[in-house]
Amino acid sequence: MAGPRVTLAILVLLSALSQVDRGIIGLLVPAISRDLGVDDFQISLLQGAAFGLFYAVFGLPCGALADRWSRRWLIFWGVTVWSLAAAACGLAVSFNQLLVARFFVGAGEAALVPAALSLISDIFPRQRLAGALAVFSIGSSLGAGVSLGLGGFIFDLLSKGPLSVPLIGAIHPWQGVFLITGAPGVLLAFAIFVAPDPARRSTGGVSVSWSALFGFLMQRRGFFARHFAGFSLMGILAYGCGGWVPVLLMRRHHFTAFEAGMSYGLVTTGGTIIGMLSLGAILDRLIRRGVTDAPLRVFVWLIPVGLAATVTACLSPYPAVFLGCWLVTSVGVCLAGPAATAIQFVTPPEMRGRTSALYIMIFNLVGFGVGPSLIGWLTVHVYRDPMAVNLSIATAYAIVAPIAWIMFFGGLKPMREAMALAEAPGSVAGRPAA
């Protein structure tokens, strides 16, 4: 069996693969629209709701299986299902067929994260766990950036001549991209059997019912309602922009698919790494100084900066200005660390898993379900011009970001109160052990 580092590398590889199959559709929008005759709103359903609905709905049962069943087998079947579904996107000849294939991409990908996090938690000692989880998160972001450049390169390569696949016949270049990027996952899924699947660490025998969990959430509803709402609203922007910015670069700045994928991938990867590392350090420092609402407070500071950067990027006619401003925007949507930190600090250990699963479900339902569709709807029904996707992104940010800011600002006091309860003598909740 592989050691912890090799196992982590395998999980990072599979996470990067999931980013390829999840997000590569953003580079193929013009070609899919032309060949299938679909508009931007229908494309937005393929990017968001079709994937996100099934990803969110299957998240809770996959999380439960990760606590009870073999995590290696769960990951294997998840990777196999989403890879076959991603390849099936390349066989679709209608919008409805592509929609169904995206359903199964989302369902399969729902298995990876809960099983991977559980596995990492059991193969790394506690003093190294935070670093391992950071590598897993940053690795997936790096994979997402590389995948965009790779996807653009494959599309440009396939676009140079007619394509014919044995037993299938003639296909479009975008179909070839789905086949090439989706099929390898069926083989890579077997790599997880190199990893160990150790016994799960004991939680001390503490069992908390769902009714007790919801009672706890209701007692601290001022915090949890604003936390879930604020981060889910930011998820609308993160997923919406992730799906449409490559399209903007191709339509407004005349980038090729390869140039759009490479440029956007590098910028978002750089912004994500900067954001994850810097926000983690800032949160640690603020919390040591007694700023117990720090996970929400940082977004009270970041959202106005991100809004200004996004609007400037979308209105600028210069691609260099766009990419420079988008680097700033990317830092402001590094949501995973602060969101998880807030939940970990306020929630008792025996409730953290299910509380996190509920948050992830809501975050993805809102983020994937609304984000891409909102931008697509604005383009089709408000601006009525495919070239106005930049205005749609700017409008979506201008509408959603201030509401998210209100949620975070309104959550500062409830979070301080929830932290005080968590740290009170005899409380079942408290800060995680160092």
Distance CA 13, CA 143 (A): 8
Task: Name the token pair of 152.
Answer: 């653009």
Position 318 scores a pLDDT of 95
The predicted-structure confidence for 325-381, as pLDDT tens digits, reads as follows 999 998 888 777 788 778 877 888 667 667 777 888 898 889 888 988 899 899 999
Do the beta carbons of residue 129 and residue 21 sit within 8 Å?
A: no
Distance CA 280, CA 239 (A): 22
Residue 363 Cα distances to 56, 76, 119, 359, angstroms: 8, 25, 23, 6
Position 54 scores a pLDDT of 83
Position 429 scores a pLDDT of 45
Task: Give the domains, in start order, of the chain with CATH numbers.
Answer: 1-190 (1.20.1250.20), 209-425 (1.20.1250.20)
| Predicted TM-score (pTM) of this structure | 0.77
349-355 long-range CB contacts below 8 Å, 24 or more apart? 349/203, 349/204, 349/206, 349/432, 350/203, 350/204, 350/206, 350/207, 350/208, 350/428, 351/208, 351/213, 351/216, 353/63, 353/67, 354/63, 354/210, 354/213, 355/213, 355/217
The predicted-structure confidence for 307-319, as pLDDT tens digits, reads as follows 999 999 999 999 9
Position 133 scores a pLDDT of 67
Position 434 scores a pLDDT of 35
Position 49 scores a pLDDT of 77
Position 383 scores a pLDDT of 95
Residue 333 is which amino acid?
A: V
Nearest to 178 by CA among 206, 205, 153, 155: 155
Residue numbers in the chain where pLDDT is lower than 70: 1-2, 67, 126-134, 138-144, 146-147, 161-162, 199-208, 349-350, 352-353, 424-434
The predicted-structure confidence for 156-202, as pLDDT tens digits, reads as follows 888 776 677 777 777 888 888 889 888 889 999 998 998 877 766 54
